[in-house]
Structure 1
């Protein structure tokens, strides 16, 4: 009888400990659900169209040298807002604007060349998506023929480093003109930051130049149309190893 009483007491004590333990120690804590934020897609530009004259701006009442242009693009997926970048190709100044819709009215100079693009943004992530870059001329009073758009470097890319596998390399660029009347390009090429050495005039958009290792080369393109209008590109540079 003593043994039976001892076993009964031991069982009761064990049951009491389990009931007071607050549940099984094998329970796994549940991790909080973290929402997945998808990266935004790039927008498709609509207006002003690429390589055209924009003549739909509204001339500003207080400043006739400016007009307000409504930039438009398609809505992109997984996007909460947009950042619009508009660059004056004559001055290099950049106007930045924000929008939660697929359009934005921006005041810009009349009779000036511009390029623009749109950055798609989404809350909860730093990831962005950038559209193509389009160029246009904002219509100006009394302009019958527009200067070409400044040339863009294709090769070597600005800031790039090329290996000295040869004593020459080929400069390549691209440009466009609303009036489609470009007749020539003059290339300035030198090892100084303000190149003054002209390599002559060409009708092509490529030119072979002589290079040597250990140098940084600077170059720019002067584009000319049939009316004598010219445009200077930005300064491009590349390093030769």
Structure 2
């Protein structure tokens, strides 16, 4: 009798293993981030019919990939003027002349999973007969927007650029507790960083206006941070 019970147990074991070994559902991973190739960062485009180009993305699951191209008139890409989703890594788009643009690309798989957005590149489409061009808006370096920071002295840092590469740039820095900063912290400086004294528990707002040597000015985006 005991031998018969053992045989029943042995024969039933594979069945139990089969019942409990169900396959796991494959996790859909996001595609890789693309690199922008053209127009390059801070490029002055003589022609406004532009062939945008970027690197191919890959997908860990082998899914088909499309690309979401976004072109904006501001660096934070809240003012999108052109957007398209295509299956190739190149697209020719006609834009207005005499405008500073900012662009990025996001890879998307065929299940709708988006990759991390690419870097944002700036470029300018030159207008007919235009001799001087306003600089690009300042690009944030640190602290990251809406981040929490430690310490009572914070270094504000940014990047400036102009498609007229021979221009000299200066900066007006506005800083304070107002959501729209109106207090001029520094005026006409040529450096791209300043130190500010802050208080624990407060939120601060700041922006940088960029001016070239002819007086052409670009108004910066407002950034913020909170002190722990």
For this structure pair, what is the TM-score category when the shorter chain's length is used for normalisation?
0.7 to 0.9
**Equivalent residue, structure 2, for 1:87:** 72
8 Å CA contact 1:37–1:125 kept in 2: the answer is no
**Equivalent residue, structure 1, for 2:51:** 70
8 Å CA contact 1:121–1:129 kept in 2: the answer is no
Q: CA RMSD in A?
A: 2.7
TM-score when normalising by structure 1? 0.76
Q: How far does the alpha carbon of each residue in 1:23-46 deviate from its partner, in whole angstroms, 9 at most, with x for none?
A: x76543585696675642222222
**Equivalent residue, structure 1, for 2:105:** 118
1:131 aligns with 2:118: yes
- The CA distance in 2 between the partners of 1:37 and 1:239, in whole Å, is 35
Return the offset for 1:82. 0.5
Q: 1:222 aligns with which of 209, 218, 228?
A: 209
Give the unaligned 5+ runs of structure 2.
1-10
8 Å CA contact 1:57–1:70 kept in 2: the answer is no
Q: How far does the alpha carbon of each residue in 1:60-86 deviate from its partner, in whole angstroms, 9 at most, with x for none?
A: xxxxxxxxx332222222351011111
Q: Equivalent residue of 1:113, what SS?
A: strand
Q: 1:193 aligns with which of 169, 172, 179?
A: 179
8 Å CA contact 2:68–2:107 kept in 1: the answer is yes
Q: Equivalent residue of 1:182, what SS?
A: coil
TM-score when normalising by structure 2? 0.79
Give the unaligned 5+ runs of structure 1.
1-23, 59-68
Q: 2:147 aligns with which of 144, 152, 160?
A: 160
Q: How far does the alpha carbon of each residue in 1:98-140 deviate from its partner, in whole angstroms, 9 at most, with x for none?
A: 0111122334332111111111111246251432221101222
8 Å CA contact 1:39–1:127 kept in 2: the answer is yes
1:51 aligns with 2:42: yes
- The CA distance in 2 between the partners of 1:129 and 1:192, in whole Å, is 32
8 Å CA contact 2:68–2:106 kept in 1: the answer is yes
Residues 178 and 35 from structure 1, CA distance in 2 versus in 1: closer, same or farther, beyond 3 angstroms? Answer: same
1:174 aligns with 2:159: yes
8 Å CA contact 1:182–1:223 kept in 2: the answer is no
Q: 2:134 aligns with which of 120, 129, 147?
A: 147
Residues 127 and 97 from structure 1, CA distance in 2 versus in 1: closer, same or farther, beyond 3 angstroms? Answer: closer
Residues 174 and 35 from structure 1, CA distance in 2 versus in 1: closer, same or farther, beyond 3 angstroms? Answer: same
